[in-house]
Amino acid sequence: MILLTWLLWVPPERMYRALPHWPEELSVQQLSQLLVATPVAATGQELCYNSSGATIPCIGSGQDGDTLAGEPWVSPRFSDLGDGTVRDEMTGLIWLKATSCSGNITWQAALDFCNGLASGSCGLTDGSAAGDWRMPNRNELLSLQALAYANPVVPNSVGDGQWTEGDPFTGIQNYVYWTSTTATYGPQYAWVVDFGNGGIGGFDKTQPLTVWPVRY
């Protein structure tokens, strides 16, 4: 006889929506509710606009601000851990608080910078060692954006307003940041994420840009 033990972690928000009251035993149907794929996060946009850019009522427009589709944000959205790092409570990712510490460097130099980042530099006192940090991929970097805002498209710690200096990050630039994701349409380019307007694009890997390191 073989005994199998499963360790299952489910996000608390999804747990409560599926099972407001925890039963003594889980049925197959209840278990399936917990194991459904995590939906895409909401963009944070709550206003609607016409083709001229004027604000209009959202009800019935079918726009993002009307449907509010996606996983609702948690609150607080970010937690300043007090050691030079910030945890995104939506994704669990740990981000460097000093967002522009790398300066403007090429893509390869940015990869090397992230891989070599350790406690004692860029305001870090977290005990991290070289190899703990890395350059975020395109999806990870995009996950920081709140498209209700511009210049920059980043929310504050609580998640109910726009970022301001130190809440919780420092030095966010209204420009593009490197990602670790190569643009396969032209491998000499890498995807970048624009924190001024929320856009993405491909930049030549020899261009000097900033990188925003991340770790688990």
Summarised one tens digit per residue, pLDDT across range 198-215 is 999 999 999 999 999 999
Domain count within the chain:
3
Q: What is the CATH number of the domain that holds 111?
A: 3.10.100
- Predicted pLDDT of residue 40: 85
**Averaged pLDDT score across all residues of the chain:** 88
Q: How far is Cα 132 from Cα 141, in angstroms, rounded to an integer?
A: 17
Q: Are residues 195 and 90 in the same domain?
A: yes
Q: Rounding to the nearest 10 degrees, give the CA dihedral for residues 33, 216, 91, 135.
A: -130
Residue 3 domain flag: no
Supply φ then ψ for residue 55, to 5 degrees: -70, 135
Q: Are residues 123 and 216 in the same domain?
A: yes
- Predicted pLDDT of residue 21: 47
Task: Give percent of the chain with pLDDT exceeding 90.
Answer: 79
* Domain extent at residue 95: 77-216
pLDDT digits (tens, 9 = 90+) for 92-133: 999 999 999 999 999 999 999 999 999 999 999 999 999 999
Q: How far is Cα 90 from Cα 74, in angstroms, rounded to an integer?
A: 6
Q: Are residues 98 and 176 in the same domain?
A: yes
Q: Are residues 14 and 49 in the same domain?
A: no
- Predicted pLDDT of residue 163: 98
Show the low-confidence residues of the chain (pLDDT under 50): 1-22
Q: How far is Cα 124 from Cα 86, in angstroms, rounded to an integer?
A: 11
